[in-house]
Amino acid sequence: MLPTHLPDPELFLPGTGEPALRWGLIGPGWIAGKFVGAAHAHTAQRFTAVASRSLGRASSFAAAHGIENALDSYEALVAHPEVDVVYVATPQSQHLELGLLAIAAGKHVLIEKPLALTADEAQQLADAARAAGVLAMEAMWSRYLPQTSVVRQLLDDGALGTVDQVHADHGQAIPADPQHRLYRPELGGGALLDLGIYPLQFDSMVLGAPTAVTAVGGMTETGVDAFSTLVLSHGKDAQSTVTTTMLTNTPTRASISGSVARVEFESFFYTPSSFRLLANNPNDPTGGTSLEFTDTSGLRLFAALSWEATALARFVGEGRTESPLHTLDETVSILATIDSAKAQLDDAHGTRSTGVDSTHGVTVDA
């Protein structure tokens, strides 16, 4: 039986007791511009410094976003007295080094997804942050969206019954350029770390860590994963399917199926989106077979990055050293799943030069 109405989302609204932190940025690229713009427009958080290896690039970014200090040294930024929290938005190959740099300077740190290249690297960051008593958090903005709050409450209330299956998909047509960061193994390229992490974190939020991972897929000529399908076992009674690709655009939808009801997200499920809660029984005695959630906050697309900025500030104000909605242990676990999948794909690529590996079923390029 469906509930008569959906729960209200628990929102990370600005001005609800969180401290107004001073932020420093390392890596003034595209996503950094979106995040800084959202934070300045929709939160009480302010960026006071930006650092790049190129002072000209840092200065241009600072001028465009009203940031007072432009620096050409990462060390100078993490040591700056007017920086409380460091946002690391460089390629993921630098996340471990720069995250540790910020933590060693006693700064809180928000690191773009993925937190690191591997579960082992992520564990190093978690251990360092805990030892230093500072907050470390992966910039997984999906966890702080209004829709996620509602789904989490539905799961906690048992509105779906026993969850049996999760399906989630994310594919984007990335230009087939060997110089593109996703095609470069030395920068941590590949579909799984950059795109697949969204459906994987969705599955983890619903069902937790998988008990077994089976991966099939293919590699690019540059040696990174191009596409894959992961079948995740969650004990003997639940199973998930996660697909990702950087060769084509896909519907990028997600669903959660339970014994009582299911949730179906519209396209781009990891961004501000709508979903439907549908009863398994079409003759539901409540008189309705579905309920629909629509985000009415007005924060669309990347403006919604602001939710995670306020969330981090609230967690800091509460004295936390990690996000209760996306813990460091869970972040490490998700990267362990990616490690397992990548190992299967790499193994198939290394043991067979063309065709389909009969063990793993992975199509690889010659």
Q: State the residue for tokens 């019954």.
A: 161
CA distances from 128 to 57, 96, 102, 111, 132 (A): 30, 11, 10, 14, 6
Q: Please give the Cα distance from 35 to 261 (Å, whole number).
A: 35
CA distances from 33 to 216, 276, 280, 304 (A): 35, 32, 43, 13
Q: Please give the Cα distance from 206 to 189 (Å, whole number).
A: 27
DSSP sequence for 118-143: SHHHHHHHHHHHHHHT--EEEE-GGG
Q: What 3-state DSSP class applies to 235?
A: coil
Q: Are 89 and 29 in contact (CB under 8 A)?
A: yes
Does 113 qualify as catalytic in the annotation? yes
DSSP class of residue 249 equals -
Please name the amino acid found at residue 187: L
Q: Please give the Cα distance from 335 to 196 (Å, whole number).
A: 11
Rg of the chain, C-alpha, whole Å: 21
* Strand arrangement, sheet containing 254-258: 212-219, 225-234, 238-245, 163-171, 254-258, 261-265, 275-279, 290-293
Which residue among the candidates 107, 113, 236, 342 is catalytic per the annotation?
A: 113
Q: Please give the Cα distance from 105 to 132 (Å, whole number).
A: 9
Who contacts 299 (Cβ-Cβ below 8 Å, separation ≥6)? 38, 42, 272, 306, 307
The whole-angstrom distance between residue 75's C-alpha and the CA centroid of its chain comes to: 26
Q: Please give the Cα distance from 123 to 329 (Å, whole number).
A: 8
Which residues are identified as catalytic?
A: 113
